[in-house]
């Protein structure tokens, strides 16, 4: 390792020390203190009532909760010895409260994490809107849906940038009040007509609904056997694309905005997309706040060689193409000392590489060997479900492919070779074609390669369903990335189970792996936990962070049956990868550090409220403002070999269960009983049924509103 690289790492460590709250502990502490969790709870705590399979491994880890400098160093040394692969199963659009709001031991709707609390202490628990026909004020509170409401599939709520800002509702004190969810949903549909009012009413209810282990038993199974994080937020207060980008870059173009301003570029439309010709137009400038399509693969992309795919079920318009992204990302830092050499293969260096020149110089002098990475996404190339020899891209959600937004990846054959289809993941594992280690991202899409159809558990909800109703559901809800609107939750967790079974079924691969089940953003579903507001965009609306999302760590070295309240966002995943593979934080790279410094200036501070300083217009993978890593989810004894690793059996679900829908049959309470988990509302004997006349499909089956 070169002297320059050691110095930049030392600077990062020094900054971490300065940003860490002072404590009585003489060695200091990076991951506890004021950011420990709700109510100053311990950062990591055991879940209640372990099941017999996990009970021998579950324990109160008290002494290991010292995350001072010496302990951090032990963690990182042991992680680098043990963990060679980080798998990120990157799902879509669920808030924490929507999927885990009644998970026992977590900070949820009825508990602070083992301690019950009244609804009065929960931000936004009671939401109101004013009915435009009657003039009456209507109240909505969280309620449970399950098999009787066909809860494995629903319609999607408002997760636009502006809608999310209305929902989290940041007050004059800078604190998100989390009370605008129902009103935003009602107002976007209610137009004074009975039909509009009915649709708005149903969406105002849907946004406050939540599910439990009856609907997603696999996700609850993994959360109860390993470690679930209950204080992780979407990196950006926006929809999927900005957060797909932030998953690998820790930002969605804030530093590019600082460098070049918020102005798009004019382009000629030089190629049809999916057989459709488009007029000339202009790209949408950073920072990204919409689901605008990647530049490469769009009508503005004139590439013939190495052309990227388009999603033919996607929305393309000449005003809906994102700017080419040119800031640093993990795929760049993972190149290590080969970064500059690999960048030479870029097909348009002047367009793709202007904002990483100093980064490339720095990385090329690091003395670090490259680390492999892959991005597997359904529909990117030919899938097993395609009929002919050519890829149909029928299932491809191009605006979910964060890597395709970066020109230096998409337009460089040496790097774009890392972008693959979902079927390729299973083929590569079966054929022994995974790299010897590295970072692997896995994403689903509009359909599922297993050929599963959504289970309709109650044919009488929201009314007796006709054959055309059922056909509409099966045609529109068979996706496998957990996105409300087109996916089914049990099809989605079945895809996740196949990925985990493939990893855990290989003894060597399991022994070298950390698996993360992560989400991009909340879909606009209600969550009560206020995100820390870190930045504002050129529209004066919050950029970072967004609402809270689920995150589960599965590994032979994870804490068993535990909850961590480490605070962070997608940068927490990046920081953990940095620790495991010894990469410099993105925020410490020369080009990004310069932009971060330039952003804290009158030119950009003006977009926040009076007195607000834009300290975070760029990546946030250093421990500032509650940006913590996921190290607390690992068990130091397991990493160092003083305790046995967790067996693969704790992660695996039998194929006969995975491939059957619904997973554990239709018996009331059967799914929760099968995995041995009692939701918090049942533990407290709380009843929160759906309101009369509720319709979970107010767009798909609007006649039942």
pLDDT for 624 equals 72
CA 183 remoteness from chain centre:
25
Measured CA to CA, the distance from residue 323 to residue 699 in angstroms comes to 32
Q: Quick one: DSSP state of residue 311?
A: -
Measured CA to CA, the distance from residue 68 to residue 29 in angstroms comes to 4
Q: Quick one: DSSP state of residue 524?
A: T
CA torsion through residues 213, 218, 222, 225, sign? positive
Measured CA to CA, the distance from residue 87 to residue 102 in angstroms comes to 27
> What are 131-152's pLDDT values in tens digits?
998 899 999 999 999 999 999 9
Over residues 475-497, the mean pLDDT reads 96
Over residues 99-103, the mean pLDDT reads 98
3-state secondary structure labels for all residues of 525-547: CCCCCCCCCCEECCCCCEEECCC
Distance set, CA 93 to CA 321, 348, 361, 632, 696 (Å): 22, 34, 37, 25, 16
**How many of the other CB atoms lie within 10 Å of CB of 308?**
21
> What are 215-243's pLDDT values in tens digits?
999 999 999 999 999 999 999 999 999 99
Measured CA to CA, the distance from residue 340 to residue 336 in angstroms comes to 9
**In the structure, what pLDDT confidence band is assigned to residue 114 with cuts at 50, 70 and 90?**
confident
Averaged pLDDT of the chain: 91
Q: Is-contact 672 666, C-beta < 8 A?
A: no
Q: Is-contact 155 697, C-beta < 8 A?
A: yes
For 594-663, the DSSP string reads HHHHHHSSHHHHTTSSTT-----SS---SS-TT---SGGGB-HHHHHTSSPPPPGGGT---HHHHTSSST
Over residues 396-422, the mean pLDDT reads 98
* pTM of the shown model: 0.94
Over residues 393-415, the mean pLDDT reads 97
Q: Is-contact 636 59, C-beta < 8 A?
A: no
pLDDT for 61 equals 52
Measured CA to CA, the distance from residue 587 to residue 366 in angstroms comes to 16
Domain edges within the chain: 3-490+505-704
Q: Is-contact 547 531, C-beta < 8 A?
A: yes
Over residues 186-210, the mean pLDDT reads 96
Burial of 668 (0-12, 13-18, 19+ CB in 10 A): exposed
Measured CA to CA, the distance from residue 683 to residue 561 in angstroms comes to 18
Instruction: Provide the token pair at 682.
Output: 């049942």
Instruction: Provide the token pair at 518.
Output: 């992560």
Measured CA to CA, the distance from residue 677 to residue 483 in angstroms comes to 24
Measured CA to CA, the distance from residue 278 to residue 443 in angstroms comes to 29
Strands 281-282 and 266-267: antiparallel
**In the structure, what pLDDT confidence band is assigned to residue 559 with cuts at 50, 70 and 90?**
very high
Measured CA to CA, the distance from residue 587 to residue 344 in angstroms comes to 24
Residue located via tokens 């890593």: 629
Measured CA to CA, the distance from residue 183 to residue 652 in angstroms comes to 42
For the chain, what's the residue count?
Answer: 705
CB proximity list for 90: less than 8 A, separation 6 or greater: 244, 247, 441, 442, 443, 518, 519, 520
> What are 617-671's pLDDT values in tens digits?
999 998 775 788 899 999 999 999 999 999 999 999 999 999 999 999 887 889 9
Measured CA to CA, the distance from residue 220 to residue 222 in angstroms comes to 6
pLDDT for 67 equals 57
Q: Is-contact 330 439, C-beta < 8 A?
A: yes
CA 314 remoteness from chain centre:
20
The H-assigned helical ranges of 442-559 are 467-476, 489-504, 507-511
Q: Greater confidence, 341 or 34?
A: 341
Fold of domain 3-490+505-704:
Alkaline Phosphatase, subunit A (3.40.720)
Over residues 362-384, the mean pLDDT reads 97
Among candidate residues 66, 78, 76, 60, the one with its CA nearest the CA of residue 24: 66
Return the minimum-mean-pLDDT range out of 179-193, 285-299, 399-413, 618-632.
Answer: 618-632
Instruction: Provide the token pair at 552.
Output: 């589960």
Q: Is-contact 701 474, C-beta < 8 A?
A: no
pLDDT for 15 equals 33
Among candidate residues 460, 550, 459, the one with its CA nearest the CA of residue 103: 550
Instruction: Provide the token pair at 292.
Output: 């605008």
Residue located via tokens 């993990």: 330
**pLDDT above 80 (res 319):** yes
Distance set, CA 219 to CA 226, 227, 547, 608 (Å): 11, 12, 20, 38
**In the structure, what pLDDT confidence band is assigned to residue 17 with cuts at 50, 70 and 90?**
very low
First to last CA, the chain: 64
Residue 479 three-state SS: strand
For residue 87, the cross-strand partners are: 440, 515
**pLDDT above 90 (res 291):** yes
pLDDT for 487 equals 97
Measured CA to CA, the distance from residue 253 to residue 258 in angstroms comes to 9
**pLDDT above 80 (res 298):** yes
The CB-side HSE value for 662 (13 A sphere, CA atoms) comes to: 26
Residue 385 three-state SS: coil
Q: Is 648 left (phi over 0), alpha (psi -120 to 50) or beta?
A: alpha
């Amino acid at each position: 390792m070169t002297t320059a690289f050691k110095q930049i790492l030392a600077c990062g460590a020094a900054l971490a020390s300065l940003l860490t709250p002072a404590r009585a502990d003489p060695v200091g502490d990076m991951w506890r203190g004021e950011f420990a969790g709700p109510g100053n709870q311990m950062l990591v705590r055991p879940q209640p009532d372990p099941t017999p399979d996990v009970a021998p491994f579950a324990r109160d880890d008290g002494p290991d909760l010292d995350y001072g400098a010496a302990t951090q160093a032990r963690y990182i040394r042991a992680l680098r010895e043990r963990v060679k692969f980080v798998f990120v199963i990157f799902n879509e659009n669920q808030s924490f409260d929507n999927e885990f709001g009644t998970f026992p031991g977590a900070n949820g709707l009825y508990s602070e994490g083992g301690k019950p609390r009244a609804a009065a202490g929960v931000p936004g628990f009671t939401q109101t809107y004013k009915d435009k026909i009657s003039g009456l004020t209507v109240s909505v509170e969280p309620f449970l849906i399950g098999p009787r409401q066909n809860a494995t599939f629903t319609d999607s709520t408002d997760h636009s940038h502006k809608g999310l800002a209305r929902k989290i509702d940041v007050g004059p004190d800078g604190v998100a009040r989390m009370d605008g969810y129902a009103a935003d949903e009602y107002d976007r549909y209610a137009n004074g007509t009975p039909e509009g009012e009915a649709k708005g009413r149903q969406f105002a209810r849907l946004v406050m609904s939540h599910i439990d282990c009856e609907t997603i038993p696999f996700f609850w199974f993994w959360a109860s056997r390993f470690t679930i994080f209950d204080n992780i937020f979407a990196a950006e207060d926006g929809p999927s694309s900005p957060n797909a980008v932030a998953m690998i870059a820790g930002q969605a173009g804030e530093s590019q905005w600082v460098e070049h301003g918020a102005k798009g570029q004019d382009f000629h439309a030089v190629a049809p997309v999916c057989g459709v010709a488009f007029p000339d137009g202009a790209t949408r400038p950073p920072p990204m706040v919409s689901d605008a399509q990647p530049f490469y693969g769009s009508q503005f992309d004139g590439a013939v060689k190495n052309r990227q795919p388009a999603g033919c079920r996607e929305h393309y318009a000449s005003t809906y193409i994102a700017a080419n992204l040119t800031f640093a990302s993990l795929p760049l830092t993972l190149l290590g000392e080969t970064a500059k050499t690999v960048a030479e293969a870029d097909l348009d260096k002047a367009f793709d590489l202007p904002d990483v020149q100093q980064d490339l110089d720095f990385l090329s002098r690091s003395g670090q060997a490259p680390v492999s990475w892959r991005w597997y996404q359904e529909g990117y190339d030919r899938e097993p479900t395609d009929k002919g020899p050519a890829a149909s891209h029928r299932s491809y959600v191009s605006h979910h492919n964060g890597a395709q937004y970066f020109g230096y990846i998409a337009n460089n054959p040496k790097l774009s070779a890392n972008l693959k289809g979902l079927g390729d993941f299973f083929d590569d594992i079966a054929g022994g074609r995974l790299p010897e280690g590295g970072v692997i991202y896995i994403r689903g899409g509009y359909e599922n390669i297993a050929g599963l159809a959504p289970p309709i558990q109650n044919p009488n909800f929201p009314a007796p369903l006709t054959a055309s109703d059922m056909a509409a559901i099966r045609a529109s809800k068979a996706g496998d990335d957990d996105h409300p609107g087109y996916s089914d939750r049990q099809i989605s967790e079945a895809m996740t189970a196949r990925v985990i079974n493939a990893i855990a079924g290989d003894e060597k691969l399991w022994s070298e792996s950390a698996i993360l089940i992560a989400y991009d953003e909340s879909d606009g579903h209600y969550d009560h936990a206020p995100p820390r507001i870190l930045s504002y965009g050129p529209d004066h609306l919050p950029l970072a962070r967004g609402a809270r999302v689920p995150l589960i760590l599965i590994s032979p070295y994870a804490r068993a049956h535990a909850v961590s309240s480490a605070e962070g966002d997608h940068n927490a995943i990046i920081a953990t990868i940095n620790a495991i593979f010894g990469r410099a934080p993105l925020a410490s790279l020369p080009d990004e550090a310069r932009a971060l410094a330039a952003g804290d200036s009158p030119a950009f501070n003006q977009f926040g409220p009076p007195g607000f300083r834009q300290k975070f217009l760029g990546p946030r993978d250093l421990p500032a403002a509650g940006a913590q890593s996921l190290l607390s989810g690992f068990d130091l004894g397991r990493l160092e070999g003083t305790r046995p690793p967790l067996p693969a059996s704790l992660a695996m679900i039998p194929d006969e269960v995975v491939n059957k829908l619904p997973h554990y049959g239709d018996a009331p309470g059967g799914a929760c009983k099968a995995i041995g988990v009692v939701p918090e509302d049942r533990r407290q004997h709380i009843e929160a049924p759906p309101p009369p006349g509720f319709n979970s499909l107010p767009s798909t089956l609007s006649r039942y509103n």
